[in-house]
Chains A and B, each alone.
Chain A
Amino acid sequence: MTKTGTRFIHLPFARWLIAEGTILIILSVLWSFESRLAGYSALLGGLIYVIPNAYFAHRMFRFQGARNARLMVGDLFRAESVKLALTAVFFAAVFILMEPVHAPALLFTFAVMVVLSSALRWFIQPQTQR
């Protein structure tokens, strides 16, 4: 039920992941000038955002079209709940399992990825195709 009529939304997953990965690697390299631990923590901070966000995008576009509007909105709410829960779990896992951790690098990279990814969605928008 992903198509309604002849039009459907094509998600530019590959372009999003390439752009986010490039930004993440640049930030990690910049942080690694401070220390190797900071670079590694920055990489983890970016991944904590990228993985739940990819799940959110995948889940949100499972249903498309006006006929599936209720299912679409239900999936939007579920995807957002799972995204927030996954983020909290990943943060907890990193802070518990990874010792030591460079917290400023982790949180800064995470915050930058959150802001840049929102802008990225605007510049690389999903396209409606026939």
Chain B
Amino acid sequence: MEMVFIAASIIIGLGALATGIGFGLLGGKLLESTARQPEMANQLQTKTFIMAGLLDAVPMIGVGIAMYLIFVVAG
């Protein structure tokens, strides 16, 4: 039973780590690009929004599976 909690924590932890790295890179590039071309700021923000959706898709599914493991499989 403890292995289920370890598995869920690994899923959530690695998902959060990957999302953090991805969003850090995305936000950094957004700041850099906006500083280079301020007139493009709105378009860059829109593109960032689209990429954010692709970036957090897998961690979101991971959170769902981890909650299932914690509350249904172990519970």
Residues of A within 8 A of B (CB): 4, 7-9, 48-49, 56-57, 60-61, 64-66, 69-70, 72-73, 76-77, 80, 83-84, 87-88, 91-92, 95-96, 101, 103, 107, 110-111, 114-115, 117-118, 121-122, 125-126, 128
Complex contact A114–B23 (CB within 8 A):
no
Dominant secondary structure of chain A at its interface with chain B: helix
Partner of B61, one of A60, A70, A110: A110
Interface residues of B (CB under 8 A from A): 12, 16, 19, 23, 26-27, 30-31, 34-35, 38-39, 41-43, 45-46, 48-50, 52-54, 56-57, 59-61, 63-68, 70-72, 75
Q: Is B72 touching A84 in the complex (CB atoms < 8 A)?
A: no
**A103, chain B: closest CB distance, angstroms:** 6
In the bound complex, do residue A76 and residue B67 qualify as a contact, i.e. CB atoms below 8 Å apart?
Answer: no
| Cβ contacts A to B, 25 pairs, < 8 Å | A9-B46, A57-B49, A60-B52, A64-B41, A64-B42, A69-B30, A70-B31, A72-B45, A76-B48, A77-B27, A80-B23, A80-B56, A84-B59, A84-B60, A84-B63, A87-B64, A88-B67, A91-B63, A91-B67, A95-B75, A96-B71, A103-B68, A114-B60, A114-B61, A126-B49
Assuming A65-B41, A76-B23, is B30 touching A107 (CB within 8 A)? Answer: no
Which residues in A have their C-beta under 8 angstroms from that of B48? 76
A/B pair count, beta carbons within 8 Å: 107
